Structure 1
Amino acid sequence: MAERYSSFQQGGTMWFLQRVTAVFLLVVLAFHFFLLHFVNHADEVSFLASSARMETLSYYSLMVLFLFTATFHGVNGVYNALVNQGLSGTKRTVIKWTLIAASALLIVQGVRTANAWAGGFPLF
């Protein structure tokens, strides 16, 4: 039988965080789907209504936490998939720092967008 290989150390912090973020993302996606497809139908969703939802601190906080969680989960998954494919040495270091920089830019722009949509929360 083939040997199982993973760059995650089973039981390690990154392994654990990948699983926790996956569960969180599933719950938030279910909430999103329920809210925007059952409570409000797609043709009823407007920029004004979305902005009004973002003005509530609980919804705003959930969306910003979703941004951080989805970014971490996605980037960590891509990085570990590349490591599993044999990425090593200098290329591994360059890819790691490129993904970290891209994540930082994504998070900064995402929070700026959320702030604008929410009417200017004072974060960034």
Structure 2
Amino acid sequence: MAERYSSFETGGRRWLWQRITAAFLVVVLAFHFFLLHFVHHAADVTFAMSAGRMETLSYYSLMVLFLVTATFHGVNGVYNALINQGLSGQRKTAIKWVLVAASALLIVQGIRTANAWAGLPTF
């Protein structure tokens, strides 16, 4: 019988957070498809409409949370896939910090973009 293998540590929280973020992403993506494909057809969406939605605190907050959640989910998945392929030692540490830096840059740029759409000051 095959032995169960997972790159997630026993008792670790990254496994749980991967599942929680997946569930959240499914719900937010369903909201996105409903809003932009049934309420407003994609061909009718304009930059001004998008900016108008981003000016609403609830929508802005949801999009920023979506950005952070999707970034964590994606990076955590890539990191664990690499570990499953045998990444270890110094390479594992280097890849981890490269992914952390890339995530930070993605989140900062995403928030700057969201702020610009919402008419908030960018940093």
Q: TM-score, normalised by structure 1?
A: 0.95
Note the alpha carbon deviations across 1:52-106, whole angstroms, 9 max, x for none. Answer: 0000000000000000000000000000110011000010000000000000000
Separation in 1 of the partners of 2:113 and 2:59? Answer: 14
Equivalent residue for 2:95?
A: 95
CA RMSD of aligned residues (A): 1.2
Identity %: 77
State the partner residue of 1:45.
45
CA contact (8 A) 2:116 2:122 kept: no
2:33 counterpart residue number: 33
Give yes or no for the alignment of 1:55 onto 2:66.
no
The aligned residue for residue 80 of structure 1 is 80
Runs of 4+ aligned residues of structure 1 deviating over 2 Å after TM superposition are 9-12
> Equivalent residue for 2:110?
110
Inter-partner Cα distance in structure 1 for 2:14 and 2:122:
27
**Matched pairs, number:** 123
Q: Which runs of 5+ in 1 are unaligned?
A: none
Structure 1 match to 2:23 = 23
| Structure 1 residue 11: Cα displacement | 4.6
Query: 1:6-21 alignment to 2 at 5 Å?
Result: 6-21=6-21
Cα offset, 1:12, TM superposition:
2.3
Q: Which runs of 5+ in 2 are unaligned?
A: none
- Which SS does the other structure have where 1:62 is aligned? helix
Residue deviations 1:14-34, cap 9 Å, x none? 111000000000000000000
What letter is aligned with 1:92? K
Residues of 2 paired with 1:89 and 1:59: CA distance? 42
